[in-house]
Amino acid sequence: MPLPGDPMHDSDSNGRQLLLLKTRAELQTRLTRIRVDRHHGETPLEANFSDQAVQRENDEVLDSLERSAEWELIQIERALARISIGQGNDCSVCGRPIEKARVSALPSATECAICANKLSDSKIPISM
């Protein structure tokens, strides 16, 4: 539940948009750090192969973190696009209002809970 002073307190589009913009900036910074780390940009790989193996153990985790951050950025961009055209509070599937509790819990939500569950169950790609 959002607290007073939290940008999501009134669940208005401006507060939601500000929160999404802040989250997007944080994710972009995180992605930059992940990519630098994954490509060993700050610390080159060791010459010794066993040392390289240790350095590369983390690569799978970094790949997973990168995919997760990219997916979250896509969701944020979708929500920001809908907000910019005045449809940020409406479900992109059925057009009904997105529940305030859902928006508070997941500011990048673009579907109501019912449609999100149906899409999740059927694995249908979500459109803008």
Residue 8 lies in a domain: no
Structural domains in the chain (count)? 1
Report pLDDT digits (tens) over 76-126: 999 999 999 999 999 999 999 999 999 999 999 999 999 999 988 776 555
In a domain, residue 127? The reply is: no
> Is residue 1 assigned to a domain?
no
Query: Averaging pLDDT over each range in 1-10, 23-32, 57-66, which range is the top one?
Result: 23-32
We report the CATH number of the domain holding residue 53 as 1.20.120.910
In a domain, 5, yes or no: no
Give the model confidence (pLDDT) of 43-82 as tens digits.
666 667 777 776 667 788 888 999 999 999 999 999 999 9
Domain that holds residue 42: 13-122
Whether 6 is covered by a domain: the verdict is: no
d(CA 83, CA 125): 20
Query: Does residue 48 lie in a domain region?
Result: yes
